[in-house]
Amino acid sequence: MLWIAIVVHFFVDFATSIFQPLGPYITDKFSISPRMYAMALYSISLVSSITQPVFGTLTDKVSKRNIYLAAVASITLLFASLISIAGSFLIFLIFAFVAQLSNSAFHPMGASIAGQKKKQHLAFFSLAGMFGYAVGPVFITWYAEVHQLKGLYYFGILLAIFAVLTLPRMRFLEREKREVKRSWSGFRVVMPIFFFVAFRSFSMGIAQLYGPLYAKMLGKSWVFGGSLLTFTRFVGMVLSTLGVYIGTKIGNSIINIISAGAMVVFGIVFASTDFSNIPSVLMAILFVSMLSPAYLSMSSTVVEAQSRLPKNPGFASSIVMGFAWSIGSLMNFIYSSIFGNDVEFMIKSFWAISLLALGAAIWDTVSVRFRRSR
């Protein structure tokens, strides 16, 4: 019955992938500025990232794990689809916030159940989520362009019912009983990785939200804007797996330098290109080339952080995932509050922000070699 959790994970990540590519549609529908939309989504992302470690701790205390999983999954699926009936931007934000928050509650429990028996199960669970996250943007922009999101809530209701009817039927799995160790002194060991992930999240947040808005500004369709994210995430699925494999050969610190360095180089190329007179396919290639290298270091940084704190793997993961991502969202919020209405500047400043990630990657490499030489 594990396949049920895997299928639901696909739909949960599919549902929460729709908000960033809907920027052009939402700004038109509610007559709001790109800055307002960006600040609102970054605020939601900030809160959901901060609360994920809290939900991770809660996971170890819940006894009715299947009931919990069914509840948070159905809430995510339902509220993400309810944006189709939002009559104001405030209502849209409330629906999006509830969906994102319940999504943060879903992942720690889902991953815990998936990985309890075999690591291969966790791999399939993660792959299903990445696939849903990749497919969502192109689907939702097509649906918005063709149907203006009408009837989207029917899909949400059906999927929520599916989750409620199937997840509780999974064979009950006992909680793993193990001591969870935490040591804030361990933060110093993973601090360079933390800053790298925070700056990488900062730059990725800018590209993923402003990419579709920039495409719209150039006269491209909403579907084209969504396709930019979909193609990038499909390439990212491959690069993320490749990064872990190569990282075991040459070291995660080098992977981080390659990842951030490619973001800087291709970001400069993207910023220097005049897209008014070139084919759309070339713009898509350049966008994917600019953003997809970020995924090369996506999984490898978590593996590296856990290896540096072998007695505190959960603490290490929460630092370089939830905490670092929340700091990235905070930087996104501040940055967009100042420059958020200048769509072209925002997307073309990607390379400069990525330069901060490259600096953190170099710092990490130097610090690792320094520790080894002592």
Nearest partner of 254 among 324, 358, 373, judged by Cα: 358
pLDDT score, position 188: 79
Cα 209 to Cα 24: distance, rounded to the nearest angstrom: 10
Whether the Cβ atoms of residue 52 and residue 322 lie closer than 8 Å to each other: yes
For residue 88, what is the DSSP state? S
pLDDT score, position 170: 65
Provide mean pLDDT across the span 229-243. Answer: 94
Q: Helices 222-250 and 119-147 sit at what angle, rounded to 10 degrees?
A: 160
Give residue-wise pLDDT tens across range 100-142.
999 888 877 766 666 555 555 656 777 888 899 999 999 999 9
pTM of the model: 0.89
Which CATH architecture describes the domain 184-373? Up-down Bundle (1.20)
Whether the Cβ atoms of residue 172 and residue 1 lie closer than 8 Å to each other: no
Kindly tell me if the per-residue pLDDT of 218 is higher than 90: yes
The stretches of the chain forming alpha helices (DSSP H) are: 2-16, 23-29, 34-59, 65-81, 89-114, 119-147, 152-166, 187-217, 222-250, 252-272, 280-291, 293-296, 300-308, 313-318, 324-339, 343-348, 350-373
Nearest partner of 22 among 184, 222, 162, 199, judged by Cα: 222
Cα 253 to Cα 368: distance, rounded to the nearest angstrom: 8
Nearest partner of 244 among 158, 108, 126, 136, judged by Cα: 126
pLDDT score, position 27: 96
pLDDT score, position 114: 61
Give residue-wise pLDDT tens across range 297-311.
988 888 888 788 877
From the candidate CATH numbers 3.40.50.10420, 1.20.1250.20, 3.30.470.10, 1.10.10.10, the one assigned to the domain spanning 2-169: 1.20.1250.20
Give residue-wise pLDDT tens across range 324-350.
888 999 999 999 999 999 999 999 999
Reported confidence tier of residue 87, pLDDT bands at 50, 70, 90? very high
pLDDT score, position 126: 77
Residue 278 φ/ψ, nearest 5 degrees = -125, 155
* Residue 188: Cβ within 10 Å count: 10
User: How many CA atoms lie within 13 Å of 279's alpha carbon, on the beta-carbon side?
Assistant: 3
Cα three-residue angle 136-314-68, rounded to 5 degrees: 55
Give, in order, the Cα–Cα distances in Å from 133 to each of 159, 182, 307: 16, 31, 27
pLDDT score, position 267: 98
For residue 170, what is the DSSP state? S
For the chain, the average pLDDT equals 88
pLDDT score, position 252: 86
Q: Which two tokens stand for residue 20?
A: 């960033």
Look at phi and psi of residue 98 and say left if phi exceeds 0, alpha if psi is from -120 to 50, else beta: alpha
Give residue-wise pLDDT tens across range 139-157.
999 999 999 999 999 999 9
What ranges do the domains of the chain cover? 2-169, 184-373
